[in-house]
C-alpha cells in the first residue's frame, strides 16, 4: 500500500468555503445557485481526479495538524472512501439542480441558509469519507450532524421542531454516549486511532470487551439506522425533499454505514473480527433490522416514510454484506452504497416532484397519478427496480454480489433474509407503480392531461434513473474501486 502526499483530499473538503460567496450573493438567487454548481463541479473534479491513482493501489494522504499528541487531523483516500465520495459529490450536483426546482417551485423561505448548510454537509460527508483516523472521522461525523440540523428543520414549524429534536437526540446521544468512550477505549488499548488495513486494535483481547466495544461503535453511529436507533430517519422526513433525497438516502445515512464499515475494517480488522466471530453478531443485528424495517415499510402510507423505512433496511444490507467478511459479500456491500444511492435518490426525487406538482404526500392518494406524471412515475419504476434488486438496474449487481457473499460465507440464513427482504421490498414498491399506471384515480384529481413538475425537478430525476440503468451495464468504476478496497481489507487478492 503506497501512500502518496496529496493536498487533493483537503481541497475536496475545503470546497465548503464556497459558502462565503453563497452567503454574499444571498440577494440574487441565480448567482447564488451558480456558485453552488461551481462548488459542486470543482469538488467532483477533484475527487474524480484521484480515481486513477487510487485504482493503481496508491493512497493520497495529507496530515493537516496534530490536534492531540500523536493524533492528527488526517485525510487518507482509499478505494472505499473514494467510492463513497464520488457517489456523494456527483449526486450533490444533481440534487442542487433538483433543489432549485423544488425550492423555487414551493417558494420556500431562507433559501440561502439552505444552500449554505447543504454545501457544509457535503463537505462533512467528504470529510468522513476521506478521514484517515477515527478522530477525524468523528469530527466530521459531528459536523455533519449539526450542519444537517437546520436542513431537517428547514420549515421551522412545530413538526420540524419535534422532528429536529428527535433527530438530535438520536444522532447526538449515541455519538457522545457510545462512540466517544469507545473511541477513547480503543485509543487506550492501542495508542493510536489511525485506520490500518487490518485494524489497529491489538490482536489479543477478551471476547466480551471487544464485543462491547464493537456494539458501542455500531449503535453509536446511529446515522446507520440500525435498529433500535433508527427512528430519527422517518422523523427527519419532514425536511424538504431534496434534503431527504441527498442526505437521507445518500450522504447522512451512508456516512453512518460508512463509519460502521470503517470501524469493522479499519479499527477491528477482518482478521480480528473473524477470529472472535464478532461478524456473526453484526450479521444478526443487521438482518433483524432488514426484516423488521421491510415489514414496517409495508404498513406506511406516507410515501417518504415508506422510502425511509426502505432505506433503513437497505442500509443494513450494506452492513450485513461487509460483516459477512467474504469477498463477494464485502464487494456487494460497498457497491450497494453506490447502487442504492442512485436508486433511492430517484425515488425521493419522484416523491418530491409529485409533491411539487400535486401536493400529494400519501400513497393511497396516488392512484392513477401515472397518467398525469408519466416521466416521473417511469423513473419511479426504475428506481424501485434498482432498490428491489432486479435487472436491468444497478441494484441487481450489488444484490447479486451480496447473495454470492452469503453463499461464500456459508451463512444460508442470511441468504434467506436477503431474499425475503427483496420480496418484501417488491411488495411495498411495485403496488405503487401498478396503482399509478393502472388504477383509476378515485376522484378527478389526476385528469386533465400530462402535467409534470418543473423541468428543474424532472430532469434530475430522469438523469438519476438513467444512471441506475447505466450502472447495470457499466458498473466498472465502482466495481473496481470496491475490488481494490476488498483486496486490501482481506489482505491480498
Partner 1 sequence: MTEHYSVLLIIMPFLSGLLISIFGWYDQKKCYAIAILCLFLSIIISISLLLAVMQNGEPVQYRIGGWAPPWGIAYHVDYLNGIVLVVISLTSFLNLAGARKVIEKEFSDRIGAFYTLYILFTTGLLGMVVTGDAFNLYVLLEITSLTGYALIGFGVNRAPLSALNYLLMGTIGASFYLLGVGYLYMGTGSLNMADIAHLLPAIYHSRTVMFAFLLILCGLFVKMALFPLHGWLPNAYSDAPSISSGLIAPLTTKVMVYVMIRMVLTVFTPAFSFSFAALNSTMVWVAVIGILSGSMLALFQTRLKRMITYVIVTEIGYMVGGFWLGTRDGMTGAILHIVNDAMMTLCLFLSITLISYKIKGDRFSDFRGIFRKMPVTMTAFVVAALSIIGVPPTCGFFSKWYLISGGIAAGHYGFIAALLFSSLVNAVLFFRVIEIGYFEPFSDHGANSGHVPEVRMDEAPVSMLMPLMITAAMLIVLGIFSGDIVTRAIQFAIPASII
Nearest distance, CB of residue 53 and partner 1, angstroms: 28
Beta bridge partners of 2: 58
Nearest distance, CB of residue 285 and partner 1, angstroms: 23
| Cβ pair 225, 233 in contact under 8 A | yes
| The C-alpha cell that represents 9 in the structure block | 483530499
| The C-alpha cell that represents 114 in the structure block | 439552505
Residue 452 φ then ψ, to 5°: -80, 170
Write out the binding residues for partner 1, residues 171-190 only, by CB under 8 A: 172-173, 176-177, 180-181, 184-185, 187-188
The residue within the footprint of partner 1, chosen from 3, 24, 66, 410 (CB under 8 A), is: 66
Write out the binding residues for partner 1, residues 463-492 only, by CB under 8 A: none
Grid cell 496508491 is found at 58
Nearest distance, CB of residue 168 and partner 1, angstroms: 6
DSSP 453: P
The residue within the footprint of partner 1, chosen from 25, 38, 55, 146 (CB under 8 A), is: 146
Residue 109 in contact with partner 1, rule: CB under 8 A: yes
How many angstroms separate the CA atoms of 90 and 253, rounded?
16
Write out the binding residues for partner 1, residues 343-372 only, by CB under 8 A: 359
Nearest distance, CB of residue 466 and partner 1, angstroms: 30
Residue 151 φ then ψ, to 5°: -75, -45
Q: With contacts defined by CB under 8 A, how many residues of the chain interact with partner 1?
A: 40
DSSP states along 315-350: HHHHHHHHHT-SHHHHHHHHHHHHHHHHHHHHHHHH
SS3 57: coil
Nearest distance, CB of residue 373 and partner 1, angstroms: 17
The residue within the footprint of partner 1, chosen from 55, 71, 288, 427 (CB under 8 A), is: 71
| The C-alpha cell that represents 38 in the structure block | 461551481
Residue 153 in contact with partner 1, rule: CB under 8 A: yes
The residue within the footprint of partner 1, chosen from 3, 17, 68, 212 (CB under 8 A), is: 68
Q: Which helix (H) or strand (E) holds 66?
A: strand 58-68
Nearest distance, CB of residue 188 and partner 1, angstroms: 5
Residue 106 in contact with partner 1, rule: CB under 8 A: yes
Nearest distance, CB of residue 37 and partner 1, angstroms: 25
For the chain, the farthest-separated pair of C-alpha atoms sits apart, in whole angstroms, at 70
Instruction: Using the minimum distance from each CB to partner 1, give the nearer residue, 110 or 462.
Output: 110
The conformational region for residue 471 under phi > 0 = left, psi -120 to 50 = alpha, else beta, is alpha
Grid cell 427527519 is found at 236
How many angstroms separate the CA atoms of 408 and 391, rounded?
22
Nearest 5°: the CA angle 40, 389, 468 is 30
Residue 212 in contact with partner 1, rule: CB under 8 A: no
Residue 138 in contact with partner 1, rule: CB under 8 A: yes
Residue span binding partner 1 (CB under 8 A) among the ranges 105-113, 207-215, 241-249, 280-288: 105-113
Instruction: Using the minimum distance from each CB to partner 1, give the nearer residue, 54 or 171.
Output: 171
Residue span binding partner 1 (CB under 8 A) among the ranges 59-67, 96-104, 413-421, 466-474: 59-67
Is the bond into 144 cis (omega within 30 degrees of 0)? no
How many angstroms separate the CA atoms of 485 and 493, rounded?
10
| Cβ pair 277, 204 in contact under 8 A | no
Write out the binding residues for partner 1, residues 154-173 only, by CB under 8 A: 155-161, 164-165, 168, 172-173
Which residues sit at the interface with partner 1, rule CB under 8 A? Answer: 65-69, 71, 73, 106-109, 135, 138-139, 142-143, 146, 150, 153, 155-161, 164-165, 168, 172-173, 176-177, 180-181, 184-185, 187-188, 359
Amino acid at each position: 500500500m503506497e501512500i502518496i502526499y496529496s493536498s487533493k483530499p483537503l481541497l475536496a473538503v475545503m470546497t465548503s468555503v464556497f459558502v462565503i460567496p453563497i452567503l454574499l450573493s444571498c440577494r440574487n438567487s441565480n448567482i447564488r445557485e451558480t456558485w453552488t454548481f461551481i462548488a459542486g463541479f470543482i469538488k467532483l473534479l477533484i475527487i474524480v481526479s484521484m480515481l486513477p491513482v487510487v485504482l493503481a493501489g496508491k493512497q493520497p494522504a495529507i496530515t493537516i495538524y496534530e490536534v492531540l499528541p500523536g493524533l492528527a487531523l488526517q485525510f487518507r483516500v482509499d478505494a472505499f472512501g473514494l467510492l463513497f465520495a464520488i457517489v456523494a459529490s456527483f449526486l450533490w450536483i444533481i440534487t442542487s439542480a433538483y433543489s432549485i426546482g423544488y425550492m423555487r417551485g414551493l417558494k420556500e423561505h431562507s433559501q440561502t441558509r439552505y444552500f449554505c448548510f447543504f454545501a457544509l454537509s457535503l463537505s462533512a460527508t467528504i470529510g468522513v469519507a476521506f478521514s484517515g483516523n477515527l478522530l477525524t472521522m468523528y469530527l466530521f461525523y459531528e459536523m455533519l450532524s449539526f450542519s444537517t440540523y437546520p436542513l431537517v428543520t428547514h420549515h421551522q414549524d412545530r413538526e420540524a421542531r419535534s422532528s429536529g429534536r428527535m433527530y438530535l437526540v438520536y444522532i447526538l446521544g449515541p455519538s457522545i454516549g457510545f462512540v466517544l468512550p469507545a473511541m477513547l477505549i480503543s485509543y487506550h488499548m492501542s495508542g493510536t486511532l489511525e485506520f490500518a488495513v487490518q485494524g489497529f486494535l491489538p490482536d489479543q483481547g477478551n471476547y466480551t470487551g471487544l464485543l462491547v466495544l464493537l456494539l458501542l461503535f455500531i449503535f453509536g453511529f446511529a446515522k446507520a439506522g440500525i435498529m433500535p436507533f433508527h427512528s430519527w430517519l422517518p422523523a427527519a422526513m419532514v425536511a424538504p425533499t431534496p434534503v431527504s433525497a441527498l442526505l437521507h438516502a445518500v450522504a447522512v445515512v451512508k456516512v453512518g454505514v460508512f463509519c460502521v464499515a470503517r470501524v469493522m475494517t479499519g479499527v477491528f480488522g477482518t482478521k480480528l473480527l473473524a477470529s472472535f466471530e464478532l461478524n456473526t453478531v453484526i450479521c444478526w443485528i443487521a438482518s433483524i433490522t432488514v426484516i423488521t424495517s421491510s415489514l414496517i415499510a409495508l404498513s406506511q402510507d406516507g410515501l417518504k416514510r415508506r422510502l425511509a423505512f426502505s432505506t433503513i433496511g437497505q442500509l443494513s444490507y450494506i452492513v450485513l454484506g461487509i460483516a459477512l467478511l467474504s469477498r463477494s459479500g464485502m464487494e456487494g456491500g460497498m457497491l450497494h452504497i453506490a447502487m442504492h444511492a442512485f436508486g433511492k435518490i430517484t425515488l425521493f426525487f419522484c416523491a418530491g416532484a409529485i409533491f411539487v406538482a400535486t401536493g400529494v404526500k400519501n400513497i393511497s392518494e396516488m392512484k392513477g397519478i401515472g397518467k398525469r406524471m408519466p416521466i416521473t412515475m417511469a423513473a419511479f419504476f426504475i428506481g424501485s427496480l434498482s432498490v428491489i434488486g432486479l435487472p436491468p438496474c444497478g441494484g441487481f449487481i450489488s444484490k447479486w454480489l451480496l447473495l454470492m457473499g452469503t453463499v461464500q460465507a456459508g451463512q444460508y440464513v442470511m441468504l434467506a433474509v436477503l431474499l425475503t427482504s427483496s420480496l418484501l421490498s417488491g411488495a411495498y414498491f411495485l403496488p405503487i407503480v401498478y396503482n399509478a399506471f393502472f388504477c383509476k384515480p378515485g376522484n378527478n384529481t389526476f385528469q386533465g392531461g400530462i402535467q409534470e413538475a418543473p423541468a428543474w425537478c424532472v430532469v434530475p430525476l430522469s438523469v438519476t434513473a438513467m444512471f441506475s440503468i447505466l450502472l447495470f451495464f457499466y458498473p466498472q468504476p465502482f466495481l473496481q474501486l470496491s475490488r481494490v478496497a476488498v483486496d486490501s481489507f482481506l489482505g491480498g487478492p
